[in-house]
Structure formats: structure tokens, C-alpha cells
Chain A
Amino acid sequence: MNEGSALADNIKALIGHTAESVVMEVERGAIKRFCEAVGDSNPLFADAEYAKNGPYGDVICPPGFFGWPIKPAAAMSEPTATMTAEFAKAGFPGLLDGGIYYEMYIPIYPGDVLVSSAKIADVYEREGKGGKSLFGIIEIIYTNQNGDMVCKARRTLIGRQA
């Protein structure tokens, strides 16, 4: 948290807020659909025949794709929803996606079942040309069915003062 910023109590209390873990299933069809949506025809992700002879022996997920949530249905955006609601109460409505940071550890294969655990890692205020903004950092850890951490992500969400 930035020194000297007078964050409202409900905003300070967000730090450490943890969402229920989400189970994500990695289906072949979903990987394909994701690549098509991006316009990425890289056969390492899109062509099982090709990938069979490559370093992974099968297609892998393009970095940035973690499968589809299968339970619980609504938890996917829960820390974001909580942050949105509390930011709005403090006079910073309408969150914008500020950016992302990934550390990738191991590849994700079709058939993997991932668990994603998200928490609000930090909240801070900044004063810019357009006025005050609140920044919220959501940290997400993705672990696979073997208990190995596959990726760590940090999302930045920005609320602008109304």
C-alpha cells in the first residue's frame, strides 16, 4: 500500500480477501476454440497430429488459457465483483482492466484439471492527470491435478474517481 494515502476502511479491508477456489477443466475443444478466437493457428496448440512429434507429445494450452471453470459456477469473477462493489462505495465506480503479469512454470495439457485460487493482494491509490484512481491487484495461483504450480498471475484493476 502506498504511504500517506488515506484509503477508506472498506478498501483497506479488501487486502487479503480470498475467493473460493475454482476448478478448471482443460478440454481439447476449448483449447481449439480459444486459439480460433485469437486467430492463432500455431500447430503446437491447435494440431494434435503435429504436436504428437513435438517436445510435449501432445498439444498444450497457449499461455494465457487455463481451461473452463466447472465449479463453482459463479466464483470465477468473485474477487473482481467484491472489489468492484467496494470501490464503487468509496466513489470509484466502473473498474477497468489495467493489465496482467504472468509467471509460467509448467505447460498445461488437455485433460488437466486446474485449481485457481485468487486473492486481493494489494490496493492503492494514485493521483494522475485525470484525477484519483484506485488500483487493485488480484493474485491468482493455478495448480494442476498433481499439485504442481503451473502459473502465477497478477491482474491490475483500476477504478476512477467519479
Chain B
Amino acid sequence: MTEKKQLYWEDVEVGDQVPTLPKIATTMMLVRWAGASGDFNPHHYDDQSPMAAATGGIIVHGALKRQWLIQLMTGWIGDEGKLKKFSCQYRRLDFPRRMANFVDPMEGETWLCKGTVTNKYVEDDQYLVECEIWVETGQGEKTVPGSATVAFPSRGTK
């Protein structure tokens, strides 16, 4: 187990970038997500379903992209950080890569989950940071914009 580094509120400045989290959505991942989340809408696994036909193929679950963005934030804020508020909007459709074999996806798109610090302040003894967050496609198009408010530990109260 690699040692995890804890960020403190004092380490974070407005304009800082949250370390980018790359993700590859595959048809296999969508099946796993369906099973783990309980969302069995055929739009996400059945190409022949009317919904998938209408969108030109199966699409990535909005909630999976939500969870990527949550992972982006919880990975960044560390064990002592807390995600207080989170929101995102599923603005564009994303299409998963097909599987080339049992383990590897075919060539294709890699999505990037990104964030920027937009505000930091202290309120009710909580050391808070606000971020703009989003998922973008391999072509740099933002498909899921959002925002998050997180609480960090402070060196002052250590």
C-alpha cells in the first residue's frame, strides 16, 4: 500500500487544478455498473432496444459519470477531507468503447475528469473549498459539468 498524502486547506489555492482522472468507459464497465447500481435500463446494454436505436447506440450511464467525478474529488481530498456538496448535469451522451477480448477495450476514446478550485473560505469552523468539475471527451468536449464543495483539515487546528 502506497502512503496517501493528505492535503490541507492551506495547501489549496483558487485556480489550482485537481489532478486529472482518466477513465475509459467500456461495454463491460456498463454491465458491471448496471449490476452494482441496480440500474437495468436496456439503453445501457442492448443495442437493439428502441432507446439505444434512438441515440445511435448504447450510452454511458449518467450516474456512472457522476461517480467518476465523485472519485475525482474523494481521491483528491484524502482520508481527512469530506465531500459536503456535489452536483453534476448530464448534458451530452457518451458512447462506450467495445471490448476487443475478455479484458481489453478496443481503441477509442479516453475520458478525462477534471476540476478547478474556484473558491476557498471558512464557515462555521469548516475549512471549505469549492470546485468546478467536469467530464470531457477525448475531443475536449465537456459532457458532464458540475460543482463540488469539500471540507479539508486545517493545519491551524491540527
Contact = CB atoms under 8 A, between A and B. Distances in A.
Interface of A: 30, 33-34, 36-40, 42-45, 47, 50, 54-55, 62-64, 68-69, 76, 94, 96-104, 156
Q: Please classify the interface of chain A as helix (H, G, I), strand (E, B), loop, or mixed, using the class held by over half of its residues.
A: mixed
A26 B22 CA distance: 28
B88 A62 contact: no
A21 B124 CA distance: 33
B100 interface: no
Interface stretch (B10-18, B61-69, B115-123, B125-133): B61-69
A102 B36 contact: no
Given A37-B33, A94-B51, A63 B86 contact: yes
A62 B70 contact: yes
Interface of B: 1, 4, 23, 29, 32-33, 35-38, 51, 54, 61-64, 66-68, 70-71, 74-75, 79-80, 82-90, 146
25 contacts: A36-B36, A37-B29, A37-B37, A38-B64, A38-B68, A39-B29, A40-B75, A42-B74, A44-B79, A54-B79, A62-B70, A62-B71, A63-B74, A63-B83, A63-B86, A64-B66, A64-B67, A76-B38, A94-B51, A98-B89, A99-B146, A100-B87, A102-B83, A102-B87, A104-B86
A34 B37 contact: yes
Contacts of A64: 63, 66-67, 70, 86
Contacts of A30: 36
A91 B84 CA distance: 38
A97 B143 CA distance: 13
B1 A47 contact: yes
Nearest to B61: A97
A156 to B, nearest CB: 7
Contact of B62 (A47, A99, A101, A103): A99
Closest 6 CB pairs of A and B: A37-B36, A99-B89, A101-B87, A37-B32, A97-B62, A40-B71
A100 B39 CA distance: 15
